Homo-oligomer: A and B are copies of this chain.
Amino acid sequence: MPATILIVEDEPAIAELVSLHCKHAGYSVKVAHAVLDARDIVDEALPDLIVLDWMLPDKSGIDFARELRKDDRTRDLPVLMLTARAAEDDKVRGLEVGADDYVTKPFSPKELMARIKALLRRAAPESSDEPVEVAGLRLEPAAHRVSGNGAELKVGPTEFRLLRFLMSRPDRVMTRQALLDGVWGDHVFIEERTVDVHVRRLRVALEPTGHDALVETVRGGGYRLRKR
């Protein structure tokens, strides 16, 4: 599921340029030419990041950014301000208002994309260290420990990460590739069948408390952790 970027920019040429680069980088893109449109898009489907022009036909980008900061739903939405003004003053004002970063026109697409990636990475829901519990199965990231109904379970490192990943998205079918990406990391070259083996090892590890039944096989699809 790629991140969605909303571009708010009235100059078609710039909007197109940014959009193209974002798509090329694998992001899903939406474009608005005015704050009015932008607001609709934000309401309808919350994007993961907004590239916001400073000067817009109906309202200043700064006002829109300020507006976003007031709503709980959009408070933490990263905003990258795009501006023709290079005055130090504006930078300060833009950042004070709640932009997370800014780029002045003319900008290098390379730099823009680097900033976008940086913002997205920073905003990414850091795998919280809060304990997770599903159907009596408890996983404590900080302690690196798994217990079923109170009894401690011995789980290997990879199985631990696998279980954590599954527990973070219960009831959702995960393809082998998704598991490889999420547990092993993208860009690793590992046989998909290896996932099967680790799933088995995980099941064995969970057996003492009967929680092995939580890990379900979806034939032709992948694996899923039952919520209850």
Q: Specify which chain B residues have a CB less than 8 angstroms from the CB of A145 in the assembled complex.
A: 171
Q: Specify which chain B residues have a CB less than 8 angstroms from the CB of A119 in the assembled complex.
A: 108
**Which residue of chain B has the shortest Cβ distance to A94 in the bound complex?**
B109
A203: Cβ under 8 A from any B Cβ:
no
**Which residue of chain B has the shortest Cβ distance to A108 in the bound complex?**
B101
Tell me the A118-142 residues at the B interface (CB within 8 Å).
118-119, 122, 140, 142
Report the bound CA distance from A156 to B218 in whole Å: 9
Among candidates B20, B96, B156, B173, residue contacting A96 with C-beta atoms closer than 8 Å: B20
Q: Are A221 and B157 in contact, CB atoms less than 8 angstroms apart?
A: yes
Q: Are A16 and B92 in contact, CB atoms less than 8 angstroms apart?
A: yes
Shortest beta-carbon distance from A151 to chain B in Å = 14
A24: Cβ under 8 A from any B Cβ:
yes
What would 17 more interface pairs be, CB under 8 Å, given A17-B91, A20-B92, A111-B122? A13-B88, A16-B88, A16-B92, A17-B92, A20-B96, A100-B110, A108-B115, A108-B119, A110-B122, A111-B118, A114-B122, A143-B171, A143-B172, A144-B221, A144-B224, A156-B219, A157-B220
Chain A interface size band reads: 35 or more
A95: Cβ under 8 A from any B Cβ:
yes
**Which residue of chain B has the shortest Cβ distance to A89 in the bound complex?**
B13
Interface of A is mostly: helix
Q: Are B142 and A173 in contact, CB atoms less than 8 angstroms apart?
A: yes
Q: Scan A80-123; emit 1 where CB is below 8 A from any B CB, else 0.
A: 00000000100110011000110000001111001100110010
Q: Specify which chain B residues have a CB less than 8 angstroms from the CB of A92 in the assembled complex.
A: 16-17, 20
A69: Cβ under 8 A from any B Cβ:
no
Among candidates B88, B142, B173, residue contacting A172 with C-beta atoms closer than 8 Å: B142
Q: Are B143 and A173 in contact, CB atoms less than 8 angstroms apart?
A: yes
Q: Specify which chain B residues have a CB less than 8 angstroms from the CB of A96 in the assembled complex.
A: 20, 24
Q: Specify which chain B residues have a CB less than 8 angstroms from the CB of A13 in the assembled complex.
A: 88
Q: Specify which chain B residues have a CB less than 8 angstroms from the CB of A33 in the assembled complex.
A: none
A66: Cβ under 8 A from any B Cβ:
no
Report the bound CA distance from A88 to B142 in whole Å: 31
